[in-house]
Amino acid sequence: MSQKIGIARAHTNIALIKYWGKRDKQLFLPMNSSLSLTLDAFYTDTKVIFDSDLTADEFYLNGILQDSKEILKISRFLDLFCEYIGERTFARVESLNFVPTAAGLASSASAFAALTLATATALGLNLSREELSTLARRGSGSSTRSLFGGFVEWDMGTGSADSMAHPIDDADWDIGMIVLAVNTGQKKIASREGMDHTVATSPFYQAWVDTAKEDLQVIKQAIADRDFEQVGQITEHNGMKMHATTLSANPPFTYWSADSVLAQEAVRQVREESGLSAYMTMDAGPNVKVLCRASQMAELVDGLSQYLPKEKIITSLPGPAAYVLTDEDWQGSQQVFEERS
């Protein structure tokens, strides 16, 4: 019996300039470059054990053996790595998701980034973080950005080899994010289907691509200047434009629920009354995320709790790049997971 083991943690990220649409669905090449903030509050820990005694891949998520469809996704992803070493041993993959159920955040970003780093570690692949991000991309687009911490750009690139993420800034300048977890039910339209349908049918889609390019340039300059208001304004506008493409798809759809609109209104009210900086963004689900100053987070939570139950308001600071865990870390992680569930 021979075993190769790798364990890693990756944090999730929220896009400020969204990835919305693929120019190549097979290779996960995006229509536009995007930019995100990695969050410390939400992460995935993953252990990969390549074991010569296994006769098939296995995938356990939060301690539960997954069905053949989920295992196939993991198997295809592991194949990409095994191509590098020209040898395919089956693996047992164990993942623990530390995304509070109440947050209702998609975990594919942290999941595939953690799986990427754990697999590369197990196989001893000598690849840079940027190169690893091109592999993570093949699992789920947004995971490309979760290899890095702080503000991260995913450059759309010219092809598979250079469609990769780069760290832009560590976001260590009074940045925070509040998640308004208004509705945690299963989303009706997966982001993958939602973006494909939008690309195919929305007459506004080209305007999205064109203006997202401009937004990216402006936000990168604003981050370099540490101009928080500019970062926030571009974030809010870019997110709304993304959602406008779903309303203009045919047939139209939206990720917003009635509670999303109420949460948006709460943010507008609180920022007007308090004069604090708070800028909204939304993804392929009903929750509202608020980019804010870390130092003003407590005051904003107080204001928002007049409109929303406190347990639906979750705060986060910027998170770090993905990193390798030891076996001792993994045991600690399992213990924390059990205590939480």
Separation between Cα atoms, residue 136 and residue 115, nearest integer Å: 8
Residues contacting residue 220 through CB under 8 Å, at least 6 positions apart: 35, 153, 168
Site string for ligand 2P0, 5-34 (x = CB under 6 A): ----------x--xxx-------x-----x
Task: Provide, rounded to whole angstroms, the least separation between the CB of residue 223 and ligand 2P0.
Answer: 17
Separation between Cα atoms, residue 156 and residue 19, nearest integer Å: 9
Task: Provide, rounded to whole angstroms, the least separation between the CB of residue 42 and ligand 2P0.
Answer: 13
Q: Which is nearer to ligand 2P0, 106 or 313 (CB)?
A: 106
Q: Which is nearer to ligand 2P0, 31 or 270 (CB)?
A: 31
Separation between Cα atoms, residue 244 and residue 253, nearest integer Å: 10
Size of the site for ligand 2P0 (CB under 6 A): 15
Q: At residue 116, what are phi and psi to the nearest 5 degrees?
A: -60, -50
Return the residues of window 99-158 that contact ligand 2P0 according to CB under 6 A: 106, 108, 140-142
CB-nearest residue to ligand 2P0: 141
Strands 22-24 and 29-30: antiparallel
Report which of 89, 161, 76 is spatially closest to residue 123, judged by C-alpha positions: 89
Residues in the chain: 341
Q: Which is nearer to ligand 2P0, 7 or 117 (CB)?
A: 117
Return the residues of window 269-308 that contact ligand 2P0 according to CB under 6 A: 283-284
Site string for ligand 2P0, 180-199 (x = CB under 6 A): -----------xx-------
CA dihedral 61, 65, 68, 73 (to 10 degrees): 20
Task: Provide, rounded to whole angstroms, the least separation between the CB of residue 253 and ligand 2P0.
Answer: 13
Q: Which is nearer to ligand 2P0, 12 or 333 (CB)?
A: 12
Return the residues of window 31-70 that contact ligand 2P0 according to CB under 6 A: 34
Range list of H helices, the chain: 68-85, 108-123, 129-137, 191-201, 205-224, 228-247, 258-274, 297-304, 327-340
Q: Which is nearer to ligand 2P0, 94 or 283 (CB)?
A: 283
Q: At residue 104, what are phi and psi to the nearest 5 degrees?
A: 55, 30
Q: Which is nearer to ligand 2P0, 108 or 235 (CB)?
A: 108
**Which residues would be at the binding site for ligand 2P0 (CB under 6 A)?**
15, 18-20, 28, 34, 106, 108, 140-142, 191-192, 283-284
